[in-house]
Chains A and B, each alone.
Chain A
Amino acid sequence: MDLPVKMLTMAVAVPVFGAFLVPFAARISTPVRNALAVLLGLFTFLAAASLFTTVLGGQTSTWMLSFPRGFDLILHADLLSVFMASVSAFVSLIILIYSLDYISHYEGQTEYYAMVVLFLGSMMGLVFSANLLWMYVFWEMTGFCSWRLVGFFRSDKDVAKANKTILVTVFGALCMLVGIIMVYFHYGTLDLRALHGQPISLLAAAFILAGILSKSATLPFSTWLPDAGVAPSTVTSLLHAAVLVKIGVYAYARIFGVTFAAPDAFSNAVLYIAGASALVSAGAALIETDIKRIIAYSTVSQIAFIFLGLASGNKTAFVGALLYILMHSIAKGGLFLCAGIIEQNTHTKDITRMGGLFASMPLTGVAFALCSLSVMGIPPFGGFFSKYLVFSGAAQNGNLVVLLMFLAGAVMTLLYLVRLFYKIFLGEPAGHDCPKEGSYTMVASVLALAVIGLALGFLIYYPSAYAELLTNTLGVNLQ
Chain B
Amino acid sequence: MNLIFIPIVLPIIAALALLLMCEKTKYLKELLAIGTSAVALLAAANIFLLPVQAVSYAWLGTGITFTLRADNLSAFLLLAVSLFSLAISVYSFSNPNKGPAKWFFFNLLMTQGFAAGAALADNLLAMLFFWEGLLVFLYTFIALSQTTYAAKRTAMKAFLINGVTDLCLLAGITITAYIAGTMSMSEIAQNKLTLDYGWSMFAYVLLLIGAVSKAGAFPFHTWIPDAATDSSAAFMAYVPAAIDKLLGIYFLARASIYLFTLNGTMQLVLMTLGAVTILVAVMMAFVQKDYKRLLSYHAVSQTGYMILGIGTLNPIGIAGGLFHMINHATYKSCLFMTAGSVERQTGSSDLSKLGGLWSAMPVTVLCFVIAAAAISGIAPLNGFFSKELVYKGTLDTGYTIFFLAAELGSFLTLASFLKLGHAVFFGERPENLKETKEAPFSMLLPMLTLAGICVAFGFGARLPTNWFISPALAGMNIPHPLLSGFHPDKLYFVSVIVILAAVANHMIGLAIGGGKPSKSSDHIHYAPVLKETYAMAERRVFDLYEVLMDRAVPAVSLALFKADRFFDWAIDAAPSRLSGFFGGTSRRFHNGSYPLYMALTLACAAVYILLAGGLK
Q: Which residues of A contact B (CB under 8 A)?
A: 164, 168, 219-224, 279-284, 286-288, 297, 316, 319, 373, 376, 378-380, 384-385, 387-389, 391-392, 394-396, 398, 400, 403, 407, 410-412, 414-415, 418, 422, 426-428, 460-461, 464-465, 467-468
State which of B124-132, B229-237, B376-384 sits at the interface with chain A: B124-132
CB atoms of A373 and B136 under 8 A apart: yes
User: Closest Cβ of chain B: how far from A193's Cβ, in Å?
Assistant: 26
Interface SS, A side: helix
Residues of A within 8 A of B160 (CB): 414-415, 418
Give me 16 A-to-B residue pairs in the complex whose CB atoms sit less than 8 angstroms apart, sorted by A's number: A220-B570, A283-B564, A284-B560, A286-B561, A297-B564, A316-B63, A373-B136, A378-B163, A380-B129, A387-B170, A388-B128, A403-B171, A411-B164, A414-B163, A418-B160, A465-B58
CB atoms of A460 and B167 under 8 A apart: no
Which 8 pairs, one residue from A and one from B, show the smallest C-beta to C-beta distance?
A283-B560, A286-B557, A223-B568, A468-B61, A283-B557, A392-B174, A287-B561, A379-B133
CB atoms of A407 and B570 under 8 A apart: no
- Knowing A392-B177, A465-B62, the reply to whether A379 touches B567 (Cβ < 8 A) is no
CB atoms of B560 and A380 under 8 A apart: no
**How many angstroms between the C-alpha atoms of A315 and B62 in the bound complex?**
12
Knowing that A379-B129, A407-B167 touch, tell me 13 more A-B residue pairs with CB under 8 angstroms: A168-B571, A284-B560, A284-B561, A286-B561, A378-B135, A379-B133, A388-B174, A391-B171, A414-B167, A418-B163, A461-B59, A464-B61, A467-B61
Residue of A nearest to B568 (CB): A223
Residues of B within 8 A of A412 (CB): 557
Partner of A220, one of B63, B178, B571: B571
Residue of B nearest to A380 (CB): B133
Residue of B nearest to A412 (CB): B557
Interface centre among B170, B175, B559, B564 (most CB of A within 10 A): B564
CB atoms of B564 and A222 under 8 A apart: yes
Partner of A223, one of B125, B202, B560, B572: B572
User: Closest Cβ of chain B: how far from A312's Cβ, in Å?
Assistant: 12
Q: Which residues of B contact A (CB under 8 A)?
A: 58-63, 125, 128-130, 132-133, 135-136, 143, 149, 152-153, 156, 159-160, 163-164, 167-168, 170-171, 174-175, 177-178, 199, 202, 553-554, 556-561, 563-564, 567-568, 570-572
User: Closest Cβ of chain A: how far from B148's Cβ, in Å?
Assistant: 11
CB atoms of A220 and B567 under 8 A apart: yes
CB atoms of A460 and B132 under 8 A apart: no
Partner of A287, one of B149, B164, B558: B558
Interface centre among A297, A378, A418 (most CB of B within 10 A): A378
Residues of A within 8 A of B199 (CB): 398
Residue of B nearest to A300 (CB): B564
Residues of A within 8 A of B167 (CB): 407, 410-411, 414
Interface SS, B side: helix
CB atoms of B128 and A379 under 8 A apart: yes
CB atoms of A378 and B567 under 8 A apart: no
User: Closest Cβ of chain A: how far from B117's Cβ, in Å?
Assistant: 10
Residues of A within 8 A of B61 (CB): 319, 464-465, 467-468
Partner of B559, one of A282, A283, A460: A283
Residues of B within 8 A of A379 (CB): 128-130, 132-133
- Knowing A415-B160, A426-B143, the reply to whether A391 touches B174 (Cβ < 8 A) is yes
Residues of A within 8 A of B567 (CB): 219-223, 280
Residues of A within 8 A of B554 (CB): 286
User: Closest Cβ of chain B: how far from A423's Cβ, in Å?
Assistant: 11
**How many angstroms between the C-alpha atoms of A207 and B602 in the bound complex?**
35
User: Closest Cβ of chain A: how far from B161's Cβ, in Å?
Assistant: 10
**How many angstroms between the C-alpha atoms of A280 and B153 in the bound complex?**
26
Residues of B within 8 A of A410 (CB): 167
Partner of B553, one of A286, A387, A395, A461: A286
**How many angstroms between the C-alpha atoms of A316 and B175 in the bound complex?**
13
Residues of B within 8 A of A224 (CB): 571
User: Closest Cβ of chain A: how far from B515's Cβ, in Å?
Assistant: 43
**How many angstroms between the C-alpha atoms of A282 and B135 in the bound complex?**
22
**How many angstroms between the C-alpha atoms of A283 and B554 in the bound complex?**
9
User: Closest Cβ of chain B: how far from A330's Cβ, in Å?
Assistant: 18
Residue of B nearest to A281 (CB): B564
User: Closest Cβ of chain B: how far from A164's Cβ, in Å?
Assistant: 6
Residues of A within 8 A of B558 (CB): 283, 287
User: Closest Cβ of chain B: how far from A107's Cβ, in Å?
Assistant: 28
**How many angstroms between the C-alpha atoms of A378 and B557 in the bound complex?**
23
CB atoms of A460 and B128 under 8 A apart: no
Residues of A within 8 A of B571 (CB): 168, 220-221, 223-224
CB atoms of B568 and A388 under 8 A apart: no
CB atoms of B563 and A388 under 8 A apart: no
Interface centre among B58, B129, B143, B153 (most CB of A within 10 A): B129
**How many angstroms between the C-alpha atoms of A271 and B559 in the bound complex?**
21
**How many angstroms between the C-alpha atoms of A286 and B557 in the bound complex?**
6
Residues of B within 8 A of A389 (CB): 60
Residue of B nearest to A283 (CB): B560
- Knowing A223-B564, A280-B563, A461-B58, the reply to whether A164 touches B175 (Cβ < 8 A) is no
Residue of B nearest to A314 (CB): B178
Residue of A nearest to B143 (CB): A426
User: Closest Cβ of chain B: how far from A249's Cβ, in Å?
Assistant: 19
Residue of A nearest to B556 (CB): A283
**How many angstroms between the C-alpha atoms of A396 and B135 in the bound complex?**
27
Partner of B156, one of A168, A387, A422, A464: A422
Residue of B nearest to A214 (CB): B571
Residues of B within 8 A of A403 (CB): 171
Residues of A within 8 A of B159 (CB): 418
**How many angstroms between the C-alpha atoms of A415 and B159 in the bound complex?**
10
Residue of B nearest to A428 (CB): B149
**How many angstroms between the C-alpha atoms of A309 and B558 in the bound complex?**
27
**How many angstroms between the C-alpha atoms of A287 and B553 in the bound complex?**
10
Residue of A nearest to B126 (CB): A379
Residue of B nearest to A221 (CB): B571
Partner of A427, one of B149, B560, B563: B149
Residues of B within 8 A of A221 (CB): 567, 571
- Knowing A221-B571, A222-B567, A426-B143, the reply to whether A280 touches B62 (Cβ < 8 A) is no
**How many angstroms between the C-alpha atoms of A376 and B62 in the bound complex?**
25
**How many angstroms between the C-alpha atoms of A282 and B208 in the bound complex?**
27
Residue of A nearest to B206 (CB): A407
Residues of A within 8 A of B59 (CB): 460-461, 464
**How many angstroms between the C-alpha atoms of A231 and B167 in the bound complex?**
34
**How many angstroms between the C-alpha atoms of A316 and B125 in the bound complex?**
14
CB atoms of B178 and A461 under 8 A apart: no
CB atoms of B560 and A282 under 8 A apart: yes
Residues of B within 8 A of A411 (CB): 164, 167
**How many angstroms between the C-alpha atoms of A220 and B565 in the bound complex?**
11
CB atoms of A287 and B170 under 8 A apart: no
CB atoms of A280 and B560 under 8 A apart: yes
CB atoms of A280 and B136 under 8 A apart: no
